Amino acid sequence: MSAFKGSDIVEIAVRIEENGEHFYRYAMQLAKDEDAKKIFSNLADAELQHKKTFSRIFAAMDKDTPPETYDGEYAAYLHDYVDNKIIFKKGMLEAELAKIKDTLAAIDFAMQRELDSILYYHEIKRFVSANEHAVIDDVIEEERKHFKGLSNLRTRYAK
């Protein structure tokens, strides 16, 4: 039996996008040149749009929460799970951010997170209705474009 329901998986996607947006805002502050700042800003804005997309999907899903000791306990558990176990892990994110001292390191970190997100979003399609697959495919395609843009930016910085 799965530990999570389909709505949980989509809620995790919302949290991934929130954490991604926070990272890109941090990377934007770290970047020295305007081109990199603009790219990171655009990526942060895109993550915010992805969050809205997954939030809309989540709102339309059936949600049954297990019995809770207090209101919001299960949601808090899911947020903690994402922050500590998935793609943009909060503890790991903080440790990794401390290591990121320049734009190139931020780009490398972002590229790996984009790849991880693409894989996760491919997997969540099993948990959502078929009529949402095209929307998720659009998000996956945008994440691929993010990766490609970051890859191009990395090539310029690696010289």
Domain of 76, CATH number, reads 1.20.1260.10
User: Confidence class of residue 152 from pLDDT cuts 50, 70 and 90?
Assistant: very high
Would you say residue 23 lies in a domain? yes
What is the rounded radius of gyration, in angstroms, for the C-alpha atoms of the chain? 16
Q: Is residue 60 part of a domain?
A: yes
pTM exceeding the 0.85 threshold for the entire prediction: no
pLDDT band of residue 1 (cuts 50, 70, 90) is very low
Question: Per residue in 69-104, pLDDT tens?
Answer: 666 666 666 666 656 555 555 566 677 778 888 899
- Residue 36: which domain range? 6-157
pLDDT of residue 2: 43
138-143 average pLDDT score: 89
What is the rounded CA–CA span in Å between residue 67 and residue 121? Answer: 28
86 in a structural domain: yes
Is a pLDDT exceeding 80 seen at residue 40?
yes
Which pLDDT does position 89 carry in this prediction?
A: 56
The answer to the question of residue 141 being in a domain is yes
What's the number of domains the chain is made of?
A: 1
DSSP codes of every residue in 31-63 = --SHHHHHHHHHHHHHHHHHHHHHHHHHHTS--
Is 101 within a domain?
yes
Residue 1 counted as domain residue: no
Residue 114 in any domain: the answer is yes
What mean pLDDT do residues 39-68 have? 84
Residue with tokens 């989540």: 58
Give the model confidence (pLDDT) of 125-137 as tens digits.
877 778 878 888 9
Residue 92 lies in a domain: yes
